């Protein structure tokens, strides 16, 4: 792979994906997105991997879709390329996916971070949807996910002005989970991942699916969905092990079965 680096054993049960086009601030060209799609598919099937961290480098998580690659395209070119199947794949990833963001997370970069389940940010992170400044608008979920995350007023301001917000502001608005000094952002993401990796992978997948459902349905339907997934956890060996370990006052050993 040219634009992505993958370490399937970054930590026990944790895989790390690095976006790797540093000179272009990790601008998301088609090849990078295609590499990301197949990597996520592979990691989702890898039984040893329980949590995935997606990161860039200190200067940029990703400065957006590749403007140079898009500049000359027509609407029909964009339609035919169907790059959104990649974004659908990211959304379909069953395992918890944490974005570790430092520097720029702009346009498609901000949308990519928001497509992950949680965001750990360095204090130098900057989030924004600056597409309006180049005559377009967000196209990979920015108007929808940003609005759900930070509310209409602020989302409208960011989408219509293209202004960036700092990591601290992003924390204040609920876009990110935590902000840490720049030299620690990957470590902080790894700590969060390690905590999740100790849980039952079956329960983690079902719980992730249920939380995401809250954005796609009304309350009764969501509660019904949650209940079914809750029942389903009782089909796992992990449920037996987790509850038995509690009774025996020891740490559970989850296997994902
Ligand atoms: N696309 C292509 N190249 C880029 C991009 C980008 N999005 N961002 C930066 N680069 C390149 C620059 O052209 C430059 O290359 P070169 O050295 O060859 O000129 C290099 O990266 C370094 O960038 P700068 O010199 O500009 O660095 P600065 O520190 O001065 O500025 C900024 C950093 C503020 C991040 C600036 O680069 C910038 O404004 N970038 C563009 C941000 C942007 O508008 N993003 C939105 C893009 S559109 C989009 O994301 C739509 C998504 C919807 C669909 C998704 C489908 C995949």
**Digitized pLDDT (tens) for each residue of the chain, 257 residues in all:** 999 999 999 999 999 999 999 999 999 999 999 999 999 999 999 999 999 999 999 999 999 999 999 999 999 999 888 788 888 889 999 999 999 999 999 999 999 999 999 999 999 999 999 999 999 999 999 999 999 999 999 999 999 999 999 999 999 999 999 999 999 999 999 999 999 999 999 999 999 999 999 999 999 999 999 999 999 999 999 999 999 999 999 999 999 99
Q: What is the DSSP letter of 175?
A: S
Ligand 1 centroid–CA 204 distance in Å is: 35
Ligand 1 centroid–CA 24 distance in Å is: 7
pLDDT tens for each residue of 21-30? 999 999 999 9
Buried b or exposed e, range 58-85, using 16+ CB within 10 angstroms = bebbbbbbbbeebeeeeeeeeeeeebee
pLDDT tens for each residue of 31-40? 999 999 999 9
How much is the pLDDT for 220?
A: 97
- Say what the pTM is: 0.97
Packing angle, helices 201-213 and 237-247, rounded to 10: 110
Ligand 1 centroid–CA 27 distance in Å is: 6
**Residues flanking ligand 1, CB < 6 Å:** 24-25, 27-28, 33, 63-68, 83, 104, 106-108, 130-131, 134, 138-140
Q: Token digits for 237? A: 């060996």
15, 52 Cβ separation under 8 angstroms:
yes
Q: Name beta bridge partners: 16.
A: 7, 53
Query: What whole-number distance in Å separates Cα of residue 81 and Cα of residue 205?
Result: 31
């Amino acid at each position: 792979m040219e634009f992505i680096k993958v370490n399937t054993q970054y930590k026990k049960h944790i895989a790390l994906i690095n976006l790797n086009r540093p000179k272009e601030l990790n601008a998301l060209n088609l090849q990078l997105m295609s590499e990301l799609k197949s990597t996520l598919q592979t990691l989702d099937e890898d039984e040893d991997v329980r949590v995935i961290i997606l990161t860039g480098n200190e200067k940029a998580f990703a400065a957006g879709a590749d403007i140079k690659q898009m500049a000359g395209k027509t609407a029909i070119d964009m339609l035919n390329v169907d790059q959104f199947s990649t974004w659908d794949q990211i959304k379909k990833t069953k395992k918890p996916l944490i974005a570790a963001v430092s520097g720029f997370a702009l346009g498609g970069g901000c949308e990519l971070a928001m497509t992950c389940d949680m965001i750990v940010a360095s204090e130098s992170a900057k989030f924004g949807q600056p597409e309006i400044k180049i005559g377009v608008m967000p196209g990979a979920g920015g108007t929808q996910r940003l609005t759900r995350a930070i509310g209409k007023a602020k989302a409208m301001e960011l989408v219509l002005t293209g202004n960036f917000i700092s990591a601290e502001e992003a924390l204040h608005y609920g876009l990110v989970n935590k902000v840490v000094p720049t030299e620690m952002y990957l470590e902080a993401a790894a700590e969060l991942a390690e905590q999740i990796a100790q849980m039952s992978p079956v329960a983690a997948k079902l719980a992730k699916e249920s939380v995401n459902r809250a954005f796609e349905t009304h309350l009764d339907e969501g509660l019904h969905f949650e209940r079914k997934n809750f029942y389903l956890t009782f089909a796992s060996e992990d449920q037996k092990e987790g509850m038995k370990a509690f009774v025996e006052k020891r740490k559970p050993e989850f296997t994902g079965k």
